[in-house]
């Protein structure tokens, strides 16, 4: 994978003049990736990582003139490298080695980067988000696209991302924000399926689903329960095929799914009911597994970026830095997961500052 990764990074156009290119751009990006794999979350720590392993990096990467990039060089690169090109490179690279199984579920969601939020007290805050398509089964990012909420919406970004990726035969899962007729049509036209939460943002559909369920019986039911620390949860997943009076504009719609959850959180009881539309005809147990898997994007990706890599705390937000760092963290997550690590903290503990081992992970 080394040659593949380096060759892909070499395709990122260098914004610098020839006179200002002491180090090739791909090298700077690769060292940021390796430093991040060692748990470095800031420019200074990345600079310390490169300085500490200067000779090993020179020997392994055949760096000319016996000098390595400083932290200020990495800062300038991360601020100014074109995040759109870096996005394209990531998506191309991910597509080369991630093999999706037939009807593999892909969770799709956006994550705002807290450190980029402007005007905290204003209802119309400005911030940078990264929309990701994520395989919970493999724990890897299949595709991504940064966005600025003042320039685009998450709905439009998801639609353009799906159009840009060559994915066939997958099941895309979404929260209720993406319960949009254009989105479902695009997914069906691209040769994929969908499972999408439905809430009151689509009042006509939501009310018709509830009405249909009152007058019909489910085709299959699945129940389970679990206890995690102070939380006890019982779930019942019911699948319905009654689509009466639901608009045919919801292209591909074949099933309605109801998920009922009851339990306790601490000493407080709770209950909730969620509805989903689906273009696939699965049994309730399969829907239960897939819908629970959707939330893997939160704890396997978003939580990891926030807690392990301190994304929301990082003040590296000037220029394009916030988006570029988030993209490179996705490289790191994929590399570790591709090599069998479910826990990224364990991966960092085992690999931090072991240049030979880190480099072997890139192969």
Q: Quick one: average pLDDT of 325-337? A: 96
**pLDDT: is 171 or 128 the higher one?**
171
Whole-number pLDDT of residue 227: 79
Asked if 31 and 46 count as a contact pair (C-beta separation under 8 A), the reply is: yes
Whole-number pLDDT of residue 278: 98
Q: Residue 157: enclosing H or E segment and its boundaries?
A: helix 154-164
Q: Quick one: average pLDDT of 292-315? A: 92
Whole-number Å distance between alpha carbons of 223 and 288: 9
User: How many residues does this entry show for the chain?
Assistant: 363
**Averaging pLDDT over each range in 23-32, 64-73, 228-237, which range is the top one?**
23-32
Whole-number pLDDT of residue 17: 81
Nearby residues of 358 by Cβ (< 8 Å), 6 or more positions away: 34, 37, 38, 351
Write down the pTM of the prediction.
Answer: 0.91
pLDDT in tens, 304-329: 999 999 998 887 878 889 999 999 99
Whole-number pLDDT of residue 3: 45
Is residue 125 scored above 60 in pLDDT? no
């Amino acid at each position: 994978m080394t040659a593949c990764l380096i060759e892909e990074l070499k395709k990122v156009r260098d914004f610098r003049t020839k006179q200002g290119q002491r180090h090739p751009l791909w090298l700077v990006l690769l060292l940021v990736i390796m430093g991040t794999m060692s748990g470095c979350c800031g420019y200074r720590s990345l600079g310390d990582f490169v300085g500490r392993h200067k000779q090993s990096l020179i020997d392994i990467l055949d760096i000319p003139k016996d000098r390595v990039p400083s932290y200020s060089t990495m800062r300038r690169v991360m601020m100014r490298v074109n995040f759109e090109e870096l996005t394209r490179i990531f998506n191309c690279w991910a597509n080369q080695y991630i093999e999706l199984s037939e009807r593999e579920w892909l969770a799709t969601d956006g994550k705002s980067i807290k450190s980029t939020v402007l005007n905290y007290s204003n209802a119309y805050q400005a911030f940078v988000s990264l929309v990701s398509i994520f395989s919970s089964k493999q724990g890897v990012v299949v595709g991504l696209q940064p966005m600025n909420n003042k320039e685009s919406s998450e709905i439009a970004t998801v639609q353009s991302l799906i159009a840009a990726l060559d994915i066939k035969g997958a099941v895309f899962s979404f929260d209720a924000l993406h319960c949009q007729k254009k989105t479902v049509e695009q997914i069906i036209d691209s040769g994929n399926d969908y499972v999408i939460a439905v809430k009151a943002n689509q009042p006509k559909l939501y009310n018709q689903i509830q009405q249909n369920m009152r007058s019909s019986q489910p085709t299959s039911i699945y129940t389970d329960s679990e206890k995690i620390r102070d939380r006890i949860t019982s779930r019942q997943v019911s699948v319905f095929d009654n689509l009466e009076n639901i608009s045919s504009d919801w292209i591909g719609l074949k099933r309605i799914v109801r998920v009922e959850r009851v339990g306790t959180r601490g000493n407080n009881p709770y209950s909730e009911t969620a509805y989903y539309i689906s273009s696939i005809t699965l049994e309730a147990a399969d829907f239960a597994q897939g819908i629970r898997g959707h939330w893997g994007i939160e704890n396997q990706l978003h939580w990891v970026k926030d807690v392990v890599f301190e994304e929301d705390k990082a003040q590296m937000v000037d220029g394009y830095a916030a988006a570029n760092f988030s993209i490179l963290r996705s490289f790191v997550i994929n590399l570790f997961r591709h090599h069998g690590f479910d826990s990224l903290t364990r991966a960092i503990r085992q690999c931090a500052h072991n240049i030979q081992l880190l480099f072997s992970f890139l192969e």
